[in-house]
Amino acid sequence: DRPLVAIVGRPNVGKSTLFNRLVGKRIAIVEDTPGITRDRLYADGEWLGREYTLIDTGGIQMFETDPLKAQIRGQAEIAMEEADVVVFVIDTTTGVTADDIELANALRRSPKPLVVIANKVDNGDQEYRNVPEVYSLGFSEVFPVSALSGRGLGDALDAIVGHF
């Protein structure tokens, strides 16, 4: 079986944009406003000949009325149970939020390999200004990426397939 790579993060950080870019197709729906993705969750990807299956956990909603905290907790649980590698996406344009910290703490308690992506780093200036704050979450390695343009994605993918 292909390794399962789960993308987690609070709404609007760019999970579906990253999913589509990694899959090379527009499958997940990208939303301009924070919300829940109701679309296909799984698709296959490949990097340097290493094949894997991706899951966009942002599309998972168990109950319509679930508060955001419960949704995020649900994502983390599913990722930690099913995934071989967990990709945690943070939005560097909004800065680190309480939800990011909660998710980071949950993921840290899991034995699953974790790749932390600082997303929406579209240029070098944004990398310099916005990425240092992400290190406050306490992870030793953070990959600055633009899911929109693909900037920095190669290094993140090397790290992901390096855990297979």
Q: Which residues are annotated as a binding site for GTP?
A: 9-16, 56-60, 119-122
Q: Is 21 in the site for ligand GDP (CB under 6 A)?
A: no
Q: Which is nearer to ligand GDP, 61 or 164 (CB)?
A: 61
- Structure token digits, residue 46: 């490949």
Q: Is 16 in the site for Mg ion (CB under 5 A)?
A: yes
Among 5, 6, 8, 14, binds ligand GDP (CB under 6 A): 14
Provide the greatest CA pair distance for the chain. Answer: 41
Q: Is 114 in the site for ligand GDP (CB under 6 A)?
A: no
**8 Å CB contact between 86 and 107:** yes
**Nearest Cα to Cα of residue 70 among 114, 29, 106:** 106
Phi, psi values for residue 110, rounded to 5°: -90, 145
Q: Is 58 in the site for ligand GDP (CB under 6 A)?
A: yes
**8 Å CB contact between 8 and 60:** no
End-to-end Cα distance, the chain:
12
Among 57, 71, 75, 119, binds ligand GDP (CB under 6 A): 119
Q: Is 120 in the site for ligand GDP (CB under 6 A)?
A: yes
Q: Which is nearer to Mg ion, 64 or 125 (CB)?
A: 64
SS3 state at 157 = helix
Q: Is 37 in the site for Mg ion (CB under 5 A)?
A: yes
Q: Which is nearer to Mg ion, 16 or 71 (CB)?
A: 16
What gap in Å lies between CA 17 and CA 158, rounded to an integer?
19
Which stretches of the chain bind ligand GDP, using CB under 6 A? 9, 11-17, 30-32, 37, 58, 119-120, 122, 146-148
Which stretches of the chain bind Mg ion, using CB under 5 A? 15-16, 37, 58
